Amino acid sequence: MAEFTMELNDEQKEVRDWLHGFAADVIRPAAAEWDEREETPWPVIQEAAKVGIYSLDFYAQQYFDPTGLGIPTAMEELFWGDAGIALSIVGTGLAAVGVLANGTEEQIGTWIPQMYGDANDVKVAAFCSSEPDAGSDVASLRTRAVYDEAKDEWVINGTKTWATNGGIANVHVVVAVVDPELGSKGHASFIVPPNTPGLSQGQKFKKHGIRASHTAEVVLEDVRVPGSCLLGGKEKLDERLARARERARKGGERVKNAAMATFEASRPAVGAMAVGTARAAYEVALDYARTREQFGRPIIDNQGVAFQLADMRTQIDAARLLVWRASWMAVNGKPFTAAEGSMSKLFASETAKKVTAQAIQILGGNGYTREYPVERMHRDAAIYTIFEGTSEIQRLVISRTISGMPIR
């Protein structure tokens, strides 16, 4: 087990600096254009693929960093560049992780390469879980998958929403209900291969922020996929459902808490995204305050501005430390006895909203215009308190964890 440290080693610093350079030289110059276009920035994704950032190998290396700091460091730097473009670059990773976590070796080898494509022909993938009536309440999913034993096929019907890369993805990973009586324990994940009949893009959302990231509904109408597209396979699913039914008869609270631990482990990555956006806005505000003069002196000489910057920096550093702690705990198997994963996501996301708003205030009228990037950063920051569990859900998880109450 790696000791917790607040100091990156030489290799981690090298990766951080490499990512920072890509964010500064490639992502930032393109940010305003793709925000206005509200389209997937394919040329930027292709550049990321050419240098090795848009690849499973890169994210696997960061994920298996024994200190736990690989992923949060990468996310902070990319999202420092621009949240919308960064999400387009990392969005495929969510679907890839779903396959890595639940798939067989054959499924991993078959489908993950098709999610990324190559530098000359980049592809993206989509993870489809949320539904119009089931966001935070995952137990309320309605998308159904029914097994056709005669043909060894699964038939999937339903509508997914808020899917990053939904409809434009080469490969979709879809979470569906296979046993409604088991609630969230009756779910399974399926690969929907490219060009499968019955899958279509529904509404594409015109969003407040992260506009360079494609977000849409995915409609599944009698979508048939081979039995081999059930992640983990039918035998493993049947065994898992049998265990879940037995545990439900005995009282299933322990199972629910085990499932919550999975979400806890993924939330620090979102916190790192928020830290990156907050840091970017803070740096713009700091530079502006040093050079903008009013009444014959830089505005940073005014305590009203200087104290805001002091608070902004303090909150960003505190958020990063919470993210790093939770990331280290997740990688090293430390139990989240106080919902530390949710703590990191909650504090970092709220910090991003606050810091980006303060940056606009420091820039005054300039901050409110699109000539400066802080208004875009403020719009982007709003998503962090919503996706991967709203701030209200994080507070619920934390309060129930520290009180010993069950998390449903």
Strand-pair partners of 190: 174, 230
Mean pLDDT estimate for the chain = 92
47 is catalytic: no
- Judged by average pLDDT, the poorest of 139-143, 168-172, 249-253, 366-370 is 249-253
Task: Say if residue 259's pLDDT is above 50.
Answer: no
Minimal CA–CA distance to 377: which of 90, 165, 86, 92?
A: 86
Interatomic CA distance for residues 28 and 290, integer angstroms: 22
- pLDDT band for 250, please (50, 70, 90 cuts): confident
Please state whether beta strands 293-294 and 215-226 pair in parallel, antiparallel, or not at all (unpaired).
Answer: unpaired
Instruction: Tell me the pTM.
Output: 0.92
- At 37, which amino acid appears? R
pLDDT in tens, 164-174: 999 999 999 99
Select which of 149, 340, 388, 392 is catalytic.
388
Interatomic CA distance for residues 284 and 134, integer angstroms: 38
Q: What is the pLDDT of residue 249?
A: 75
State residue 117 phi and psi, 5-degree precision. Answer: 65, -145
Task: Say if residue 257's pLDDT is above 50.
Answer: no
Minimal CA–CA distance to 171: which of 67, 99, 64?
A: 99
Q: What is the pLDDT of residue 139?
A: 67
Which whole number is the average pLDDT over 22-44?
97
CB atoms within 10 A of CB 250: 9
- pLDDT band for 3, please (50, 70, 90 cuts): confident
- pLDDT band for 252, please (50, 70, 90 cuts): low
% of the chain exceeding 90 in pLDDT:
80
Q: What is the pLDDT of residue 135?
A: 65
Interatomic CA distance for residues 357 and 336, integer angstroms: 31
- At 121, which amino acid appears? D
